[in-house]
């Protein structure tokens, strides 16, 4: 049995698939796809930002409850950049703090700014917790509407 799905009113694009074919996100469970592995991005050992409200990635994640809705500054290496998803650019940032096992080594942020994977950036933004954007975009900790600079 084939199912035909018509998408859009103009251009009418169609997609046919078998009824027993599972619909799977090709990037795994995350709508952003997989984050680069350490071998893909090289060593991550970035000096902590300085000044007021400066934290490491691990500190922001570990202290997220007390940092909720507060400004932070963090410096790290861009390990993933996903442009124009839901009107925002999404960045995964690492600085060498935290561990994969503790789930405190990768910080997600949204911004209007651009960033290149592999570059070291300084980010200023507001910590949000338990944020659910829908469509599989749910985060225990995220920095929203961040300003990203190459400092």
Q: What is the mean pLDDT of each run of 10 residues along the chain (151 residues)?
A: 40 36 36 52 87 97 98 97 94 96 96 96 98 90 96 71
DSSP state of 24: -
Question: For residue 117, which of 142, 139, 92 has the smallest C-alpha distance?
Answer: 92
Tell me if 18 is assigned to some domain. no
Domain residue limits at 117:
36-149
Tell me if 136 is assigned to some domain. yes
Give how far Cα 142 sits from Cα of 26, 101, 105, 110, Å: 24, 19, 13, 8
β-pairing, 71-85 with 88-94?
A: antiparallel
Residue 137's pLDDT is 84
Residue 34's pLDDT is 56
Is the Cβ–Cβ distance between 111 and 149 less than 8 Å? no
CA distance 58 to 70: 16
Radius of gyration of the chain (CA): 18
How many domains, the chain?
A: 1
Tell me if 126 is assigned to some domain. yes
Tell me if 48 is assigned to some domain. yes
Residue 138's pLDDT is 92
Record the pTM.
Answer: 0.74
Tell me if 29 is assigned to some domain. no
Tell me if 80 is assigned to some domain. yes
Tell me if 1 is assigned to some domain. no
CATH number at residue 85: 2.40.50.140
Tell me if 127 is assigned to some domain. yes
């Amino acid at each position: 049995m084939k199912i035909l799905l018509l998408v859009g009113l103009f251009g009418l694009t169609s997609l046919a698939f078998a009824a027993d074919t599972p619909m799977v996100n090709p990037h795994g469970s995350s709508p952003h796809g997989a984050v680069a592995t350490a071998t893909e991005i090289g060593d991550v050992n970035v000096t902590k930002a300085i000044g007021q409200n400066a934290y490491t990635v691990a500190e922001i994640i570990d202290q997220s409850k007390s940092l909720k809705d507060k400004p932070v500054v963090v410096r790290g290496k861009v390990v993933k950049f996903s442009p124009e998803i839901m009107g925002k650019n999404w960045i995964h940032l690492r600085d060498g703090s935290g561990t994969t096992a503790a789930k405190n080594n990768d910080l997600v942020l949204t911004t209007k700014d651009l960033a290149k994977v592999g570059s070291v950036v300084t980010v200023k933004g507001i910590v949000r917790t338990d944020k659910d954007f829908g469509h599989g975009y749910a985060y225990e900790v995220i920095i929203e509407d961040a300003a990203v600079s190459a400092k």
